[in-house]
Amino acid sequence: MPGIYPRREQHVKEGFGVKEQSQPAGPQGTPVDQLPGGTGLSRIDPNDPAAPNYELVAQLRGALSLREMMIEPVRTGYLGQDEHIDPKLLPPPPDELFPNVAVEQAYAPSPDGPIRCEVFRPEGAPSNLPVMLYFHGGGFMVGSSEDTEFLTRKMCVQNDLVVVSVNYRLAPEWPFPTGLDDCVAAYRWVLEQDDALEDVDKSRIVFAGDSSGSNFAAAAALRARDAGLPLPAAVVMLGPVCDFNFEQYESFNRLAPKGIVYDSAFVGFLRGAYVGHEDWAHPHVSPIYADLRGYPPTMLVVGTADPIVDGAHAFARKLEEAGNRGVELFVSEGMPHGFYFFPRLFREEEEAYEAVEKFLKKHLTGVG
């Protein structure tokens, strides 16, 4: 879910939708989340006999494909990012809520270019802190590390750890597995980094994310295992997206058709934008279908008014059936998708973070 606060910095996102003010790229080149083009873009082959029809359609629409038309209002209007919001309606900004956090840009290398990350570190903290690799949400199509700054600052301060928030490439310009590839490349960088993260404890790394970012957190652990990399010490999933076969769950069919935070129509769009139907049951798309033996301790946070609540229950059961004794499912009565996103709006938001704190303390320090 993208943020509602004015961003500290604006970055270019080429392809479909909005273009924003740019920032100088890192020393290795253009960050991957700012690359133009993408494998998911439609293009007209001049040798195609249907090319004149496509060119006419593009002129009439003002866009080549329907995806191009549909993603722009999603990115500019998902939370009214083009509209002025009365400051009196907004919670305090993240840097006022958690001012004692140092934030710096870092760039993880990848085969396609540097991956822009934001590193959140408690000011005055000792060395050897654990690390949280955080993946923002936004339906696989929207968002950035700036949008989840409240979450990452809060996780940083409340759990006394360093947070590395990853700006992966977005669908539909970059469909599966590109965004996940970026997340795994960022993890490799964290493991190998001896400069920006030289003072952290790399034996205590947590994967975390919200909504679609929770899907990346779960899938990245599987990818790490498949690549022979160390498994994270724990996985935290806020608003967990565990299964792309959404319609098999009663809660989705009951709540999603007229959903407010998101609905069935939006899920249909994001699913088609991110991955083809043939891969909906791929374990790196739907972690519930993976071999979960040996999977890290996992916490899932979800509300009963979230259409994917039944999927969260199912994933927790699947983990337990695989022998995972570190599964915790925090279910908040009456809460919607993203209730953990807005500070001071719900008491349940604070209760969720307290549960995460207890979970992390147990699996990072052995206390609890």
**Cα separation of 303 and 332, whole Å?**
5
**Cα separation of 238 and 184, whole Å?**
19
Active site residue 337: yes
Nearest CA-CA partner of 278 in 328, 236, 244, 329: 244
**One-letter amino acid identity for 175?**
P
**Cα separation of 344 and 313, whole Å?**
27
The one catalytic residue among 65, 165, 211, 332? 211
Element (H, E) at 119: strand 115-122
**Which residue is associated with the tokens 């806020």?**
238
Element (H, E) at 349: helix 347-365
Per-position DSSP letters for 38-73, written without gaps between them? -TT-----TTSTTHHHHHHHHHHHTSSSHHHHHHHH
Active site residue 211: yes
The one catalytic residue among 11, 136, 284, 337? 337
Beta-carbon contacts of 207 under 8 Å, excluding residues fewer than 6 positions away, are 132, 133, 135, 187, 217, 218, 220, 221, 232, 234, 235, 236, 296
- Degrees, nearest 5: CA angle 304-305-307: 95
The one catalytic residue among 136, 306, 310, 332? 306
**Cα separation of 304 and 350, whole Å?**
17
Q: Which residues are catalytic?
A: 211, 306, 337
